[in-house]
Amino acid sequence: MPYEPVIGLEIHCQLKTKSKMFCRCDNNAEGKEPNTVTCPVCMGHPGTLPVANRQALEWTYLLGLALGCEIAPQFNFERKQYFYPDLPKAYQITSQTTPPIVGGYLELDADGFRSPTSKDAQMSDFGANEKKRFPIEHIHLEEDAGKLIHAGDYSLVDLNRAGTPLLEVVTNPCFSTPAEAKAFMQELRLILRYLDISDADMEKGHLRCDANVSVRPVGQKELGKKTEVKNMNSFVAIEKALEYEIKRQTEILAEGGKVTQETRGWDEAKQKTFSQRSKEQAHDYRYFPEPDLPPIVIDGNNKSQMTNHKQSFDLEELKTQIPELPAEKRGRYQKDFGMNEKDAEIFVGDMDLAEYFESAVNLSQRSTLGNSLTLNVGKKIVSIILTDVLGYLNANSQHIADFKIKPQDLAKLAEKLELGEISSKIGKDVFAKMADSGKSATEIMEKEGIHQVSDKGELEKIIAEVISANPEQVEQYRHTVGANGDSPILNFFVGQVMKASHGQANPAMVNEILKKML
Ligand code: ADP
Ligand code: ZN
Ligand code: MG
pLDDT tens, 74-130?
Answer: 999 999 999 999 999 999 999 999 999 999 999 998 766 544 444 444 444 445 567
What separation in Å is there between the alpha carbon of 209 and the centre of ligand 2? 25
For atom 8 of ligand 1, the residue with the nearest CA is 212
Cα-Cα-Cα-Cα dihedral sign, residues 272, 278, 279, 282: negative
What separation in Å is there between the alpha carbon of 95 and the centre of ligand 3? 12
Name which of 89, 98, 74, 83 is nearest 41 in CA terms.
89
What separation in Å is there between the alpha carbon of 157 and the centre of ligand 2? 15
pLDDT tens digit string along 122-168? 444 445 567 899 999 999 999 999 999 999 999 999 999 999 999 99
> Residue 495: how many CB atoms within 10 A of its CB?
12
CB of residue 10 inside a 6 A radius of ligand 1: yes
The DSSP letter of residue 420 is T
Name which of 264, 258, 260, 261 is nearest 244 in CA terms.
264
**Alpha helices per DSSP H over 470-506:** 471-480, 490-500
413 burial type by CB count under 10 A (0-12 exposed, 13-18 middle, 19+ buried): buried
Pocket test for ligand 1, best of 10, 105, 226, 227 (most atoms within 8 A of CB): 226
Nearest ligand 1 atom to alpha carbon 174: 16
Q: Are the CB atoms for 325 and 66 separated by under 8 Å?
A: yes
Looking at the CA of 35, name the nearest ligand.
Answer: 2
Higher pLDDT, 59 or 371: 59
Name which of 49, 56, 95, 89 is nearest 76 in CA terms.
95
CB of residue 6 inside a 6 A radius of ligand 1: yes
With bands split at pLDDT 50, 70 and 90, how would you rate the model's confidence at 307?
Answer: low
Looking at the CA of 24, name the nearest ligand.
Answer: 2
CB of residue 282 inside a 6 A radius of ligand 1: no
pLDDT at 281 over 70: no
Name which of 288, 10, 378, 372 is nearest 175 in CA terms.
10
Looking at the CA of 37, name the nearest ligand.
Answer: 2
Q: Which residues pair with 132 in a beta bridge?
A: 108
What separation in Å is there between the alpha carbon of 28 and the centre of ligand 2? 12
How would you write 266-330 as a 3-class SS string? Answer: EECCCCEEEEEEEHHHCCCCCCEECCCCCCEEECCCCEEEECCCCCEEEHHHHHCCCCCCHHHHH
Q: Which of 49-63, 197-211, 310-324, 428-442 has the lowest mean pLDDT?
A: 310-324
pLDDT at 17 over 70: yes
pLDDT at 333 over 60: yes
Higher pLDDT, 370 or 256: 256
CB of residue 171 inside a 6 A radius of ligand 1: yes
Confidence (pLDDT) at 424: 84
Report helix, strand or coil for 477: helix
Q: Are the CB atoms for 159 and 42 separated by under 8 Å?
A: yes
Nearest ligand 1 atom to alpha carbon 224: 23
CB of residue 212 inside a 6 A radius of ligand 1: yes
pLDDT at 483 over 90: no
What whole-number distance in Å separates Cα of residue 501 and Cα of residue 423? 11
β pairing state of 101-102 and 70-71:
antiparallel
pLDDT at 420 over 80: no
Q: Which residues pair with 297 in a beta bridge?
A: 74, 305
Q: Are the CB atoms for 346 and 326 separated by under 8 Å?
A: no
Q: Residue count of the chain, please give it.
A: 518
Confidence (pLDDT) at 120: 43
What separation in Å is there between the alpha carbon of 284 and the centre of ligand 3? 11
Confidence (pLDDT) at 182: 95
pLDDT tens digit string along 354-375? 999 999 998 886 545 556 666 7
